Amino acid sequence: MNNSKSVILVVLCVLMLGGCSSVVSCDDGRDARWFSSPTDHVLNNGIKSYEDGDYAASMTILQSLLNNQAASTAEKVRAYKYMAFIHCVSSQDRLCRESFRKAFELDPNFNLSPAEAGHPVWGPVFSSERNKLSK
């Protein structure tokens, strides 16, 4: 019995030191981190694809998160934010506005960081949508 407890303890330590909550994709080049949930892992993958410039993959991943009933409101708001960024940089103004609007519907206090809000492509669209809600 002591031996089995030792094995479990070693396995848990290895997982914690590796920063992975599952065996899935711990060596994909990202900083190791502990994912609080499977949906957090999905959101992180969508953001990573966005940061890598793979907008098609990012959109697919983020949409799968939005379709997942287990995803939290905060995760869905972040997914809509990144979808808005992708739509804006892809010159899809209507879809960009729609994504920001959906984020506001989920969280009326949704905001961007100062750097994000100052972005020349999506910053004005975000401000415009936020102003529409405050009227």
Same domain, 29 and 55: no
Residues of the chain with pLDDT under 50: 1, 6-27, 32
3-state secondary structure of 69: coil
Counting the structural domains of the chain, the total is 2
pLDDT of residue 95: 98
Same domain, 2 and 22: yes
How much is the pTM?
Answer: 0.74
Same domain, 44 and 101: yes
pLDDT of residue 41: 87
pLDDT of residue 29: 52
Same domain, 74 and 121: yes
Same domain, 70 and 119: yes
* Domain assignment of residue 101, given as a range: 37-133
Same domain, 20 and 52: no
pLDDT of residue 14: 36
Same domain, 13 and 25: yes
For residue 64, what is the domain's CATH number?
1.25.40.10
Crossing angle between the packed helical segments 38-51 and 55-66, to the nearest 10 degrees: 160
Residues 6+ apart with CB under 8 A from 125: 84, 88, 93, 96, 97, 100
